[in-house]
Amino acid sequence: MAQNNNQMDFQEKYLSRGQLIWRAFLKHKLGVGALVVLIVLYLMALFADFLSPYNPAEQSLRHTYSPPTKVYRTYKGQRTKPYVLPSMSYVDKITYERTYKEMLFPRRLVIEKADGTRMTYELGKDGVESFKFSVNRVESIKVNGQWYDVKKSPAITDYFLFNYNENVLNKGVSRFETTSAVAQEMFFKTYKDRFGLTSEYDVEAVAVTEILDSIVIKKDGKFEMIKGKVVDYDYKTYPIKWFIKSWTGKLLWLFPSKLHLFGVDNYDNNQFVKFYIMGADLFGRDVFSRIVFASRISLSIGLIGVFITIAFALVFGGISGYYGGLVDEAFMRFAEIIMSIPGFYLMIMLRAVLPLDLPSTQIYLLIVFILSFIGWAGTSRVIRGLVLSIREREFVEAAVAIGLSNWKVLTRHVLPNTTTYLIVNATLRIPGYILGEAGLSFLGLGIREPQASWGLMLAQAQDVYVITRASWLLIPGVFIFVTVLAFNFVGDALRDALDPRSLG
């Protein structure tokens, strides 16, 4: 039997240590996913002006605690591009709760006159400038099985008629009946003496009838009154667009730009039109825009704080471990004193001794200093232990033997070998600094208005009303949670990847 000997050529490939570490890191799926999340968050902070549809300091008291804006994809039953509608708020006089209702601003009317003829009016065409409606409103209550008219009042509703009553447009007459306890209580208090009512349950039902009386058209600067009813209409919609121009921001802190990633096209500057994808706060400011800008403070504090902490730890730990003696005793005893004080209380104490009326920029720098000061002691002790071990190795003895100074040996051969530990330590410490800033801001000792941080935004949401009625103000807490979790996952993945046993 003939045997075929197949000869296969194998090519050897040698990977550097960095490539081996990256290959091991990619095996950690949670770590890779967390790294992507962190990259997205830091890009969001870097391009905050471009991503924010509104100026984070812009207030709109018409939209206090406005919920996330509803996005529509259909118009009169037809599929269309995404758009939003104007909205306004009012405080219920019975429950004192703020309620938001969407408004329909007509742009085209088809009116049937008393003689049966139809006329079409459209804003901006044939000199038509605006519409107005005059409506008679009749309120009635049902007592002992009979209806009684209790109020007749004309009301000029302008565009707001379209807000709550489309039946008026279609039929000319609309009647709403309700047996809600709120309505019964309201009418009982008003008419109890007139009808001799003993309790709100004597009001069996409430009805509101609205009759379209007249339509006023402003055309070429003149007003024209028309008797009839609206049989068809189109209302204004405000489309959501990509790459839209609105408020002026600074791209990368340097270049003024009005271009933003997305926003609503408010083509007629309607003051009721807003696009809040995450709602609004007490002052009507866009929560999403404030979260994006707040990420600059919350995310940068962690990076800058860790950088300063590592610098302190390398100086104190490296010198202590390499020189030893009295220097080691002095540095390490000081570090132990810092470590003996609980970190959060030390942070509050350091912040409390500083003036409370400082600008946000100075407060930001102080918080970075405070967080760095309380974090370096523990890291310096670990660095000292690593240096004690590294200075006894052969390559360090060889460097000393060829005549290098102690400073060059320490900075070129000893401290660089602590890099692996410092990378892992940094990724695990950054979440602590982010939480530290959030804690200070939550207690009113951190970033102040008009600047924003995730902790400050969360502090403004510590109210029963917010928790029950405006829960979207708690979204910054979600960002803090996701960021801290992502850094921990990346730290775990780096720790595993830097383990020599995982390099293969």
Q: Which residue has the tokens 């995310």?
A: 299
For 267-317, the pLDDT digits (tens) are 888 888 999 999 998 888 999 999 999 999 888 888 888 888 888 888 888
CA atoms of 51 and 261, how far apart (whole Å): 5
Give the whole-number percent of the chain exceeding pLDDT 70.
86
Give per-residue pLDDT as tens, 185-222: 778 888 888 888 888 888 888 877 756 556 788 887 78
Contact 261, 51 (CB under 8 A): yes
Domains of the chain, start order: 18-46+288-502 (1.10.3720.10), 105-235 (no CATH)
- Angle CA(24)–CA(26)–CA(32) in degrees, nearest 5? 135
pTM for the predicted model, two decimal places: 0.75
Contact partners, residue 320, CB within 8 Å, separation at least 6: 327, 328, 331, 332, 380, 384, 387
Q: How far apart are CA 372 and CA 360, in angstroms?
A: 18
Q: List the end-to-end C-alpha distance of the chain, in Å, as a whole number.
A: 41
| Residue pLDDT, tens place only, 382-417 | 888 888 888 888 888 888 888 888 888 888 888 888
State how beta strands 87-91 and 98-102 pair.
Answer: antiparallel
List Cα–Cα distances, 195 to 137, 148, 184, 207, in angstroms. 21, 10, 14, 17
Residue 492 has pLDDT above 70, yes or no: yes
Give the integer Cα–Cα distance in Å for 63 and 285: 8
Burial (CB count <10 Å: 0-12, 13-18, 19+), residue 221: exposed
